[in-house]
Chains A and B, each alone.
Chain A
Amino acid sequence: MPDIVIHTNKLTKRFGNFIAADEITFEVEKGEIFGFLGANGAGKTTAMRMLCGLSAPSSGEATVAGFDVYKQTEQIKMNIGYMSQKFSLYEDLTVLENIYFFGGIYGLNKKDLKSKSEVLLNQLGMHHEAKKLVKTLPLGWKQKLAFSVAILHQPKIVFLDEPTGGVDPVTRRQFWDLIYEAAESGITIFVTTHYMDEAEYCNRISIMVDGKIKALDTPANLKKKYGATNMDEVFFELARGAKRAE
């Protein structure tokens, strides 16, 4: 029996009459790379925000890293990393200052901060940029940095909301190398994306349509099930019926 790190049961979020996430039920295992797919407006970000403790669910239940999303949001926050759609490091701080700040508020001590930032800068090849303001970096570098900062405190799970939007193919490849490395070190990856090649990199994927989860399996099984040769076709097959326009 593998460890379950995310468990949801009929998790729902309503905004007035609008049901952004409609009774979603799924489980994510430890160390998995879990792809969370769906068209714009399908409810991916809403679901993710509920799991991160940023948004209170309307009904249903869910646990993240063993903690309840209603009552134990602060414990959840100790155990997760999060990278939102908007770039969210401080642009007017340097690379190193961002690393120290976010590491510091997760409670890393001076010694850890020093060694971890060293490792991180090596990994990203950003030694020369350590003292540059983040706003001067190209987008791809910023995203890689944001990811590394999000897992600096070795969370159990990291949530990535369209981390590679607008990033060039080479940098995207490098980004996924970072994701694999993190997964190998035991961090569970929960990632949303619109790139179907990236979906293929995931262990399992779910596809959301109009707030509901329509499919959940490994990429290979999904392709078999829908008689498709690639993930693009699977996605089209499922998302074509979507009623919600952007």
Chain B
Amino acid sequence: MMRTIRYLLQKEFKQIFRDKSILRIILIIPIVQLLLLPLAANYEVKNINLSVVDNDHSVYSNLLISKITASGYFKLQSYDASFKKAMGNIESDRSDLILEIPQNFENNLIRDNEEQLFVAVNAINGVKANLGGAYLNTIVRNFNGDIRLQLITPQKINPMPVIEITNANWYNPFMNYHLFMVPGILAFLVTMIGGFLCALNIVKEKEIGTIEQINVTPIKKYHFILGKLIPFWLIGLVVFSIGMLISYLVYGIVPLGSIAMLYGFVAVYLLAILGFGLLVSTFCQTQQQAMFIAFFFVMIFILMGGLFTSIDSMPPFAKIIAGLNPVSYMIDVMRMIVLKGSGFDDIKFHLLKIIGFAVVLNSWAILNYRKTT
């Protein structure tokens, strides 16, 4: 009966548009998330605090230090007379790394053709310090290479062939992190709106008792569910469009692939995530319960969905969980279509799986929704 659904939809839209605070949140969430997160979330580590202990005080040691500070990744925090002093800086968390240049650094380098540098890493902030160590390594290697070129006369053949690796970053040539983050955040956005709003809305009706009035009418279960699904599905698409607009205006991101296909996928994905919200609502009696349960799952979905950390580098069990996580497909497809310009053939398995999620979650929700207890 289309008429019943029409009455349900009218009622739902009137209520949604009357709730000014929800309406405002619907508008503010995409704006804040898209302006804030991509700028803050950055995989590149900068401003690594470095303490240097230079026991050589030679031309070469100075050259090395200036090379390091000129790289832009390091901030020379202190220039210490002894390792012990430098260690003090690490202990008080002022430094992340110590570079110790031994005595006779210059002499050994030229005469013996070898020298060791000592790097101590503060592993409390492991990512920062390890990446810093790696950067330092690269800089020292380059420095070494430069010196060799100067020292070794052209006639002599380099004793060891050097293989130099150069990178090309496909699909995101300048390693622009906004480009990487924004599609993921759009996925996150749609998940939040879809997963929470619908669940909370239904549970609110349970709390205030109006659902009982609905349950005592001859309304069909799927009518009721559709009456809740459709409004939030449309809201999800509107929020997604706002997000797309912001990413174009602020970051200049235009999807390389088909926009129609992108919307098609998001439309199906929203059905799946709304189904999740509906299912949560059938298990909960209060908005507090619904909020916590939805939050529990969405949190895991997002953190294990490849937004911040790559699924490929997760252990096997986590990969299995990611396979059961609708959000991971969404983030994947967003990046594929937006950054790579992937076509239908590339995403068809993703789409099939999301259709599977949508069917299972929604059927489960309808089965689990009881008009009679």
A contact residues vs B (CB 8 Å cutoff): 52-56, 73-74, 77-78, 80, 82, 84, 86-93, 97, 100-102, 104-107
Contacts and interface: CB of A to CB of B under 8 A. Distances in A.
Interface in B194-250: 208-210, 212-219
Contact of A54 (B6, B11, B210, B215): B215
Given A55-B372, A89-B210, A104 B216 contact: no
A74 B212 CA distance: 14
Contacts of A86: 208-209, 212
Nearest to A50: B372
Given A53-B216, A54-B371, A107-B4, 18 more contacts: A53-B372, A54-B212, A73-B371, A73-B372, A77-B216, A78-B218, A80-B216, A84-B209, A84-B213, A86-B208, A86-B212, A88-B212, A88-B213, A90-B210, A92-B15, A93-B15, A97-B14, A100-B7
B346 to A, nearest CB: 45
A57 B196 CA distance: 34
Contacts of B111: none
Contacts of A102: 213, 217
Contact of B19 (A87, A88, A92, A101): A92
B10 interface: yes
B218 A74 contact: yes
Contact of B213 (A74, A78, A89, A100): A89
Nearest to B207: A86
Nearest to A84: B212
B166 interface: no
B7 A101 contact: yes
28 contacts: A52-B216, A53-B216, A54-B216, A54-B371, A54-B373, A55-B372, A56-B373, A73-B372, A77-B216, A82-B213, A82-B216, A84-B212, A86-B212, A88-B208, A89-B210, A90-B11, A92-B18, A92-B19, A93-B15, A104-B3, A104-B6, A104-B7, A105-B8, A105-B217, A105-B219, A106-B217, A107-B3, A107-B218
Contacts of B373: 54-56
B218 to A, nearest CB: 4
A-B pairs, 10 with minimum CB distance: A86-B209, A104-B7, A88-B213, A82-B216, A77-B218, A78-B218, A88-B209, A101-B11, A88-B210, A92-B18
A128 B242 CA distance: 40
Interface of B: 1, 3-4, 6-8, 10-11, 14-15, 18-19, 208-210, 212-219, 371-373
Contacts of A90: 11, 15, 210
A104 B10 CA distance: 11
Contacts of A87: 209
Interface SS, B side: helix
A107 B219 CA distance: 10
Contacts of B218: 74, 77-78, 105-107
A55 B216 CA distance: 10
B299 to A, nearest CB: 30
A93 B210 CA distance: 12
Contact of B7 (A53, A78, A88, A105): A105
Q: Which of B15, B215, B217: most chain A CB closer than 10 A?
A: B217
A91 B371 CA distance: 22
A54 B210 CA distance: 13
Given A92-B18, A101-B11, A56 B372 contact: yes
Contacts of A82: 212-213, 216
A78 B1 CA distance: 15
Q: Which of B209, B214, B372: most chain A CB closer than 10 A?
A: B372
A91 B1 CA distance: 26
Contacts of A56: 372-373
B258 to A, nearest CB: 40
A54 B213 contact: no
A105 B4 contact: yes
Contacts of B18: 92
Contacts of B212: 54, 82, 84, 86, 88
Nearest to A75: B218
Contacts of B4: 104-105, 107
Given A101-B11, A105-B7, A77 B213 contact: no
A102 B372 CA distance: 19
A31 B275 CA distance: 44
Contacts of A100: 7
Contacts of A78: 218
Contacts of B7: 100-101, 104-105
